[in-house]
Structure 1
Amino acid sequence: MTAEQKHSIDDPIEMEKAADALPIEQIAKRWIVASDPDEAVEKVGQYVTWGLNHLVFHAPGHDQRRFLELFQSDLAPRLRRLG
């Protein structure tokens, strides 16, 4: 969300609702958005090539355990091979 969009929202639940309502095109302009591990690794690989080595991964939603398990099994091994 832009600063302007966040400015008037004080309630964390309302912030989450507003973020969930954002169009995917707006999100994809600022973040790497991928549902396919190969696509994610390809996009992240560009940043590794540019010399970045401190990357933050985030998945929206409440099932963070599932995200971490999938990250560990599907992405982490491939990302390690990039560096």
Structure 2
Amino acid sequence: MSETAQQILEFVRNRYPQEQIDENQDIFALGFVNSLFAMELVLFLEKTFDITISHDELRIDNFRTAVVMDELVDRQRSALAARTA
């Protein structure tokens, strides 16, 4: 698991310390995410990884697991690098 995915998973686990959540579990399917927590996830990712999540990336499928959110962070970093190159 990447360091990014570990940080994301730690954030989710801190919110639900009583649960055993792994990096591939769908936190939406488990019922852990409401609209407020979804926004907290977006803000956490943007602040922690110094990215801006584009409007077209704000889809539930991009936030289901730590692994998927790690991929989202990578895409946003790559897009930022391409714009500044």
Highest RCO, 1 vs 2 (Cα 8 Å, sep ≥ 6): 2
TM-score (norm: length of structure 2): 0.28
The structure with more radius of gyration:
1
TM-score (norm: length of structure 1): 0.29
